[in-house]
Structures are given as C-alpha cells and as structure tokens.
Chains A and B, each alone.
Chain A
Amino acid sequence: MIAAAWIALFAPAAAVVAVALAGTSITRSVAGFFAAGSALVSFVCSVVVFILLLGENPEERTHSSTLWTWLSAGDLKIGAEIQIDPLSVFMMLIVSGVGFLILAYAIGYMNGDVEERRYHAYKALFVFSMLLLVEAGNLVLLLAGWGMVGLSSYLLINYWHQRATAVAAGKKAFIMNAFGDATFVLAIFLLIQRTGSVEFDAVFSSGVVEHGSTAAALIALGLLGGAVAKSAQVPLHTWLPDAMEGPTPVSALIHAATMVTAGVYLIARTNVLFELAPAIQDLAGILGGVTILLAGLIALVQTDIKRVIAYSTMSQIGYMFVAVGLGAYGSGLFHLMTHAFFKALLFMAAGIVIHALSDEQDIRRMGGLGRAMPFTHRVFVVGALSLAAIPPFSGFFSKDSILGAAANAGTLGWILWTAGAIGAFLTALYTFRLLFIVFWGEMTPFAREHLHLKRFEGGLAMAWPVAILAFLSFFGGWFQVPWGWDLVNEWIDPVAESAAEATGTTLVFSVVASLALAVAGILLAWRWYGRTSDAPERARKRLPWAARTLEHKFYFDEAYDLAFYEPASRKAVFLTQYVEQPLFLAPLGELGSSVRAASRRLSSLQTGYVREYALALAAGLAVLAIVFILVT
C-alpha cells in the first residue's frame, strides 16, 4: 500500500522529467500520452490504496511513510513523508481520476498547438504537485505542494505567453496566492514554536494550543488566509476570473476541480486547529456565504462563457467553505467531489463549443448550438442540472448535505443556510441562462459562419472523457443520501469528525425549500432567456446602477488597484527618480568615468622609449638604496 502511494505520487513527476528530457524526439501527442498515462497510473495506484484501506478497521486507517529526512534544524526534523488515511485517499482518487480524464481530453483540445509538449509537461507537473499536497504527512511538505500548484497554475495560465492579458492574469494569480502562502507560512511558524514539529500527529494532538486563545486564533487565521487565497474566496478572489486566460483544460483541472479546492482540503485536514479557534472557523463559513452570493450575482451578467463557469466555481467553493466552517467536513468534501465531476464537465463542454467556434468565448455571439451539437448540448444539460442541484443528479445530494448540516448549526448555521438557499436560486438562474443563451434559440450569424464540427462534434478524443464525467455527474451523488446513508461522512470520520446533520422536519424543510428555489431559478431563466424576451433589458434599464456594479464585479479590482497598486507604483517611480538615480546610478557612472580619466593620464607614462624605462629602473634603484641606508 505504501509503495502504491509513492508510485501514485511520483508517476506524474516521472512523466514531467520524461517529456522535458525527450524534447522534440517525441511527437506532441506522445507527450500528452505520457502525461495522461502517468495520471492513469496514479489513479490505479490510488484505487489500490483505497481498496486496501477498505479492508482495514476504521481506527487503523492511518499510515505514514518517510522516504528521507528533508530538513533538519536542531530538534526540528522535517521528513519527506506521506500520510495515507481516508482523507488523503479521497483526494488522491479525485485528483488523479478527474485529472486523468482532463489530461486525456487535453490531448484532443491542444492538438496542433506549437508548444504542446510544454503544456503536457506542465499539466503533469500540476498533478504531481497536487498529489504531493494531498499526500503530504507534514505541514511543510504540504506547503511545498501548495506552492508548486501555485507555480503550475501560473505556468499554465500564461501558457500562451505572447498574450499580454494572459501574462498579466498569471502574475495576478501568483501574487494573490503568494499573499495566502505568506499567511500560511506564518501559521506554520507559530505551530513550530508551540509544538516543535510540523507532522500531523504531533500538531493535531490535543493541548497544542488552548481553546480560544490568541495563538490558536492566529494560527487558524493564517491557515484560513492561505485557503481563501488558493480557493478564490472573498476577499482574495479577483484572480480566478482572470485565470480563464489559460486553455480550457487548465481551467477545468486547476481552477475548477482540484487546485481551488485545496483550501477546502486544508481546512478539513487541519480541522483540529480550526476547532480550537471557533471564531475563525465561523469566519471561514461567513466568507464562504458571502462568496456564494457575490459570485452568484456577478455570474448573472457575465458574457464570457468561461467566466460564468469560473464565478460558478467560486460560488460552489463558497458552499464548501460554509460546510467546513460549520464543521460538516464530510459534506464539504462530498460537494468537492461532485463539484469536480460536474464543473470539469461544464468546462470541457464549453471547451468543445469554443473549439467548434474557432476560439470564440463571447456568448452573445453564440446561440442555437443545441441543434448543431446535440452531444455537447446533452452533456451540458447534465452538468447544469447537477450544478443547479436537481435530483437525482449528484449536485443535489451534496448541496443538500451541506444545507442540511447548516440547518442544524444554530443561528450562524441558519444565516448561512439562507445564503446557500439564495445561492441555489442564483446558481440555477445563471447556469440555465448560460445554457439557454448558448444552446437554445436562433443561431447568430457569427456562429453560422464559424461553426466547424468534427465527428462527435469535437473529435473522439474530447468526447469520451466528457461522457465519463457526465456519467459520474449523474450517478456520483448516490454516496450520501438524506434519510438514507452517508458513506462519505463515515469515510472521513476518523480524520475529521463531521457535525451532525439536521433530521426530521428541519431536513424536509431544507431539502424542499432549496429544491423549490432551484426550480424557480430554472423557470425564471427559461422565461427570460429561453424564449425571446426583453425582460433582461427592462430589468437592466430599471436598475442601471445594479447592472453596472455587477458588471464591474462589485468594484473589487478597482479597489485593490487603488489600495495597493497605485501607491506602490507611485512609490516606485519616486524612488527611481530621487533615490536610485542620484544615489546609486550617478555615482557609479562617475566612478567609471573618473577611473577612465585617471587611467588615461597614467597610460601617458608608457612612452614606448626603452631607454626611458631603463632610466626609470636605474633611478628607482638609486632611490631604494638611499632608503635602505636611511631606514636600517
């Protein structure tokens, strides 16, 4: 089992090295096969580990293995260790499984790109980093994986590095993530000071910090900062929509299924520390609730197909944060899994549409594609229904698991339940808005001109992963059914005990209310966008300020610009002009020119006359003899 876990971790790394070293001696598609194949190897190994863990008693399901001592300073020893327990295996299955499907899809999507090998190598690097993150057995190794997924995300966002917008987006993502990394590191430092170790067993043992103390709050706050940045929650969320500059499979894998969920994983993994600082845990839930609403509202007015899905991702991760914020870790992770299925599905379907329209992403230029692309239309409907949480699709079960837990969690729980319920309405509304605008109605002239289809609309290479994900989106919810069984909660229990869900009438009320709101959202979307209607225009005219705020994404970008970028750039200009130029550059230049002047004067001593040199020698000898006489 340990061996399988190590192989699962290092297979993608081997793929990266292989693709990098092979260079142009392998074809571009073969590079993709290496990457996808390594992800498949990881998945198989993860399945093996999972089956082996199933055979054990729940209490014994924790194993760790250290390859070598990575860092050691005094008493602090940090090893390259992995931890195999239900939580890490759960994440490994999702990362490697969905990762394999997306990597395979990418072989078709990126086919023909000039630097395709670099793409596949980066993708494999990402899978390796994410597996490192989830398999790590101590916080520092987790941080290493954390940083590396940020790096892979940056590399892949500005994969098309000739585009200025892509480069800017990559920088933005990396810098915001770096802020989260910094708070994460500070939390680790505090923990090292308290416990002298970073291994999970040592750090999560009871009595590390007192319940409710400032130290506990600071540690949890640091961890939360990292999670918020990585998962694009308010207030560190502005990088995610820009990250859509990367290729669609990147958006599917990194910015929907795996990396952005790393924050949720972190909170689940360090739940002990969060429960020692209840105020911060509540804060996590609150931030999640705010993000649900904010992202849902912004998604209503987006016109880029990928950005709608990106805000949807932000919103759904808000649900996960609500779940872990209220202590319902199993529900949060369950939603993570189903979200990985249907969000990757939506992105990949959107990718097929974008490909078919020669890289056009503006939905105002699309329409009526449902008849031309039936397969894509159908899988998109599956993903949309799952996202809107309509039974029997998977999203229903996971979202209701979360809402059920929220309904059972006191006042804060009910506040967050309300946010989640409104969010369900918004989700259904914007999702089906997207569906109706893109796939229903009349084909726009642009679409008619530029549509070019292959067999299965995007080619078989892109179709089969999408089909598998559609299947999973449909059937993947049966793991945890209200009034039935909750397998996910049971599975995660040894690592993170989940808070109890609501029962009886409360649960009925929660399920029915959220379902009703979702259906209402679909109906409203059908009325406004499914048929030709000018209702959206009228709403916009009546509330122009609302429309403008939503279109400007609640002015977050402008605020951050004003708060951080403007002062920094003005300071930089000032320092260049008044400090660097006069204090450093000018003296250096003067130094150079004065040395040159002095050397010119000295070189005039070299006259070229041998006799003068000899005379100088003789004169020097004479002077030295006098000195010798005088001194000694």
Chain B
Amino acid sequence: MTNFIVWVVWVLAALSLLGSGIAVVLFQNPFYSALALIGNLASLAVLYLLLAAEFVAAAQVLVYAGAVVVMFLFVIAYLGGRADAPWAGGPSPQSLAAIVAAAAIAVEIVVVIAMKAGDQLSTPAKVDDNFGSPAEIGRLFLGDHLLAFEVTSIVLLIAAVGGVILGSAVPREKRS
C-alpha cells in the first residue's frame, strides 16, 4: 500500500516539478516566473522527503522558497516586471543552438549514467530512521565537514557585504 502511495506522490511531484520548471523558463512576465519557481521548490521539497532527507527538505523550503524567492520578488517589484519576449523576431541561430545543446546535455548525461552506473543503481542502501534527521546532519556538519561549515559562513558574510555595496552605490549623475 505504501508503495502505491509513494508512487502516486512521486508522479505528482515529478509532473509539477517539470511543469513549473518549464513555466519559469517560458513565462514572459518575471513575476510569474518567480511564482513558478516557488512551485518548483516546493515539489523539490516533496521529492527530498521521499528520499529520506527531512532536514534538507525543511531547509529548502525555509531558505529557498522563504528567503531567496522573496528576495527575487522584492527586486522584481522594485524594477518593474518588464515583459521580455524571447520569441520575437523568429527563431535565431542562438535559440536553435540552445535547444540542441540542452537536449544533447540531457540525453548524454542519461546515457552516461546508464552506461556506467546502471547496475549499481538498482538497490539503494538500507538506512535507518536517523538518516537525514537534524541530529545526523548536525553531527556530520560539526564532525566530518566542519571546514565546509565554517567556510560557508564566510561566504555568506562576503555575499552580504557585496550585496550592500552593490545596492547602495548611487550613480554619479544623480549625485552632482
């Protein structure tokens, strides 16, 4: 029974994932694109839950959907969502090449993974309830991956400083 429910949830989440992804890319109004991104992130959170990564799913919703997308929406509101028509003027060599490149990437990576690791992907490892819990994540962060933990704090600091500097510079024409 659980298998069936899981399958259904997986299919729904996958469809919404792909759908919102295409929506983000194809909408002309950036505001709608940002909203579609929220849907994308939510579907991803569901998929993470299915993969026994509870903490990451929670972090995904909190950080991405809660902070990053809000930031995007603020900027879009500040700049005014100008419509951007990528299809105006018919298909250009750039867009045709883009389609080909994206498709090629998708196909090739699938083929590579199938060829190289196909048999290893059949049975996943057995995990206990502790896997993906906050306690486990905390233990790993502060134990095996302490350096990454500390470095990310520096990265965040730099990004915050950068953001302030970039945002606060007043253009010279306005000053004089």
A618 adjacent to B101 (CB under 8 Å): yes
Query: Contact between B104 and A622 (Cβ–Cβ < 8 Å)?
Result: yes
Q: Which residues of B contact A625 (CB under 8 A)?
A: 104-105, 108-109, 112
Instruction: Please tell me which one of the listed residues A611, A622, A628 contacts residue B105 in the complex, with CB atoms under 8 A apart.
Output: A622
Q: Report the bound CA distance from A621 to B107 in whole Å.
A: 12
Q: Interface size of B by Cβ–Cβ distance < 8 Å?
A: 13
The minimal Cβ–Cβ distance linking A457 to chain B, given in whole angstroms, is 77
- Tell me, in angstroms, the Cα distance from A618 to B105 when the chains sit together: 8
Pairwise interchain contact B94-A612, C-beta atoms closer than 8 A: yes
A625 and chain B: residue at smallest CB distance: B108
Any chain A CB within 8 A of the CB of B111?
yes
Give how many A residues have a beta carbon under 8 Å from the other chain's beta carbons: 12
The residues of B that contact A615 with a CB separation of less than 8 Å are 94, 97-98, 101
Answer whether residue A626 sits at the interface, using C-beta atoms and an 8 A cutoff: yes
CB neighbours (8 Å) of A626 from chain B are 108
B112 in contact with A629 (CB, 8 Å)? yes
Chain A residues near B102 (CB-CB < 8 A):
618
CB <8 Å contact, A622 and B108 = yes
A619 at the interface (CB under 8 A from B): yes
Interface residue SS majority, chain A: helix
Q: Distance (Å) between the CB of A615 and the closest chain B CB?
A: 6
Contact, CB under 8 Å: B112 / A621: no
* B101, A622: Cβ atoms closer than 8 Å: yes
CA gap between A135 and B104 in the complex, in Å:
88
Task: Write the chain A residue with the least CB distance to B103.
Answer: A622
A618 and chain B: residue at smallest CB distance? B101
Give the contacts of B119-143 with A (CB-CB under 8 A): none
Inter-chain contact B97/A629, CB cutoff 8 Å = no
* B51 close to chain A: CB less than 8 A: no
A621 and B105 in contact, given A628-B112, A629-B112 (Cβ under 8 angstroms):
yes
Q: Are B101 and A619 in contact (CB under 8 A)?
A: yes
Interface hits, A593-630 → B, CB 8 Å: 611-612, 615, 618-619, 621-622, 625-626, 628-629
Partner of B111, one of A612, A621, A629, A632: A629
* Chain A min CB distance to B116 (Å): 8
> Which A residues from 210 to 226 make CB contacts under 8 A with B?
none
Residues of B within 8 A of A (CB): 94, 97-98, 101-102, 104-105, 108-109, 111-112, 115-116
Q: Known A-B contacts: A615-B98, A621-B105, A625-B109. Give 4 more (CB < 8 A).
A: A618-B98, A628-B112, A629-B108, A629-B112
Q: Can you identify 28 A-B contacts, CB atoms within 8 angstroms?
A: A611-B94, A612-B94, A615-B94, A615-B97, A615-B101, A618-B98, A618-B101, A618-B102, A618-B105, A619-B97, A619-B101, A621-B105, A622-B101, A622-B104, A622-B105, A622-B108, A625-B104, A625-B105, A625-B108, A625-B109, A625-B112, A626-B108, A628-B112, A629-B108, A629-B111, A629-B112, A629-B115, A632-B116
Q: Which 10 A-B pairs have the closest CB atoms?
A: A625-B108, A618-B101, A622-B104, A622-B105, A619-B101, A615-B97, A629-B112, A625-B112, A622-B101, A621-B105
